[in-house]
Structure 1
Amino acid sequence: MNASVAFPKPSLRPYLAADLPLLAEIRLAAIEELTIEDYDEAQRRAWADLADDEAGLGETLKKGLSLIALISGAPVGFIVLADGGVIDQLYVHPAVARTGVASALCDAIEKLARARKLENLVVDASDTAKPLFDKLGFTAERRNTISVEDVWLGNTRMKKKLT
């Protein structure tokens, strides 16, 4: 993406049930296209297979504090804050990667978490997302590995103190 082209700042709003099919597509596109440098083909396929659960995503979005990022009125990303200050989901469409959409979502969730008097935000950041969370002031606590379909995926537990 040409850095000299100004990219519109996203607007944010709460999740609506009608968003679900498009958000499921955004999540799969992000996994398949944005993680290529950090995860091999087998890892991306296993992750995408695990993520290909629209009903499960719908439950997560309903249960958590879920924000949708929009550009020109169309959803381009989302974030979910679950109980305990856990950022459960953060995905942006590949077309808007590295344009500030994920940062805007994280900033908004942090403000809401502070308003709710949460002491920390916690995330199990993919290797792809870790640089973003580093930039936002999160610190790495430990390395995690999870087995999905006999394939190992790594991520990093990160925390940001809010108090």
Structure 2
Amino acid sequence: MEIRAYTPADCQRTAALFYNTVHAVACRDYSQEQLDAWAPEDRDLTAWDQSFQGHFALVAVEGETLLGFGDITPTGYLDRLYVHQDHLRQGIATALCERLEGLVQGPIITHASYTARPFFAQRGYRLVQAQAVERRGVKLTNFVMRKDR
């Protein structure tokens, strides 16, 4: 597995991985309406790419296969961390997270889903608060978590 910097050529594949992973993995924790609001099919790829360009963004690949991706802001907000549904529990999220955490100084904050919360807790993130966020008019619960270093 190679972890490398995100490039605009990765945009469409990361968006597809995001959509497929959210819908396949988070379905045990969120309703179909919530999944569709969180990860819609009609994503604005220009905005998606620009959001990566403004962060430290990494992708994990093996050959031509995209295994996962993640990004963090310079101020320590871990925005996204997703692994392909067929490659879960293979250390990909851990490897991406370690690299992303190493790119910034100070505490790291993330907004973890029900699904991702145990992963972050295992990595030393502590719960700050539960929160209801709105996506496309639909409320979803996630968890503000913080890792002090």
TM-score, L = length of structure 2: 0.93
Question: Partner letter of residue 31 of structure 1?
Answer: V
Counterpart for residue 67 of structure 2:
76
Residue 127 of structure 1: which of 99, 114, 139 is its match?
A: 114
Could you tell me which runs of 5 or more consecutive residues in structure 1 were left unpaired when the two chains were aligned: 1-9
Alpha-carbon distance in 2 for matches of 1:25, 1:134? 27
Alpha-carbon distance in 2 for matches of 1:144, 1:138? 16
Counterpart for residue 45 of structure 2:
54
Question: Partner letter of residue 130 of structure 2?
Answer: R
Could you tell me which runs of 5 or more consecutive residues in structure 2 were left unpaired when the two chains were aligned: none
Alpha-carbon distance in 2 for matches of 1:150, 1:86? 24
Give the match's secondary structure for 2:39.
Answer: helix
Counterpart for residue 16 of structure 2:
25
Alpha-carbon distance in 2 for matches of 1:68, 1:34? 19
Alpha-carbon distance in 1 for matches of 2:39, 2:76? 25
Displacement, 1:110?
A: 1.5
Alpha-carbon distance in 2 for matches of 1:147, 1:109? 26
Alpha-carbon distance in 1 for matches of 2:68, 2:59? 6
Q: Number of matched residues? A: 149
Displacement, 1:91?
A: 1.2
Give CA deviations for 1:13-46 in whole Å, capped at 9, x if unaligned. Answer: 0011111111111111111111011101111111
Structure of greater Rg:
1
Alpha-carbon distance in 2 for matches of 1:51, 1:38? 22
Sequence identity percentage: 28
TM-score, L = length of structure 1: 0.86
Alpha-carbon distance in 1 for matches of 2:87, 2:8? 22
Residue 136 of structure 2: which of 144, 149, 154 is its match?
A: 149
Counterpart for residue 63 of structure 1:
54
8 Å CA contact 2:69, 2:80 repeated in 1: yes
